[in-house]
């Protein structure tokens, strides 16, 4: 039986460097960009957090919350970003649990709604997300789907 532990980076800031390296490996965004966002969160400059799923203390899933996930609708904020679960741990509700954790954490801070940019259809709806509109991603050839969670 798999045992997963879900954390906010603010509760375990010592994981910052490992988390930034993990997200960089998954998405190719410079590690320094993740570190800058994580540092702002850990200093309290923003309430937009970073959330991880651990198995045996290894990161196997995660996501972040940022102002804008590289799209032209700057008014749709904040954005869930970098949602990823290691392939061998998919279909076990990890992404859903992380999404719920982030949305609830933001809601407790008075931040709602929350947005999410994706090319997936059918996945996020399972977790209470609703298609909102199409937006143009920075440098992308065609628009992507923007979802909202209220």
Give the Cβ contact number of residue 27 at 10 Å. Answer: 14
Does the residue 41 lie in any domain? yes
Does the residue 65 lie in any domain? yes
Does the residue 150 lie in any domain? no
Tens of pLDDT, residue by residue over 12-26, are: 999 999 999 999 999
Tens of pLDDT, residue by residue over 55-102, are: 999 999 999 999 999 999 999 999 999 999 999 999 999 999 999 999
Structural domain boundaries enclosing 96: 5-114
Structural tokens at position 87 = 């392939």
**CA separation for the pair 69, 132 (Å, rounded):** 15
- Looking at residue 144, the DSSP 8-state letter turns out to be E
Tens of pLDDT, residue by residue over 30-53, are: 999 999 999 999 999 999 999 999
Domain tally, the chain: 1
**CA separation for the pair 131, 73 (Å, rounded):** 15
Does the residue 122 lie in any domain? no
Does the residue 127 lie in any domain? no
Q: CATH number of the domain that 22 lies in?
A: 3.40.630.30
């Amino acid at each position: 039986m798999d045992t997963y532990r879900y954390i906010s980076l603010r509760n375990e800031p010592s994981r910052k460097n490992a988390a930034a390296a993990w997200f960089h490996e998954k998405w190719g965004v410079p590690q320094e960009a993740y570190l800058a966002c994580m540092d702002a969160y850990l200093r309290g400059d923003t309430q937009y957090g970073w959330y991880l799923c651990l198995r045996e203390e290894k990161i196997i899933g995660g996501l972040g919350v940022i102002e804008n996930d590289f799209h032209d609708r700057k008014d749709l904020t904040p954005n869930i970003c970098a949602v990823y679960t290691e392939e061998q741990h998919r279909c076990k509700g990890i992404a859903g649990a992380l999404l719920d954790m982030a949305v609830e954490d933001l809601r407790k801070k008075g931040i709602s709604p929350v947005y999410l940019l994706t090319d997936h259809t059918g996945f996020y709806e399972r977790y209470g997300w609703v298609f909102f509109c199409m937006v143009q991603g920075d440098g992308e050839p065609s628009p992507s789907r923007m979802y909202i969670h209220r």
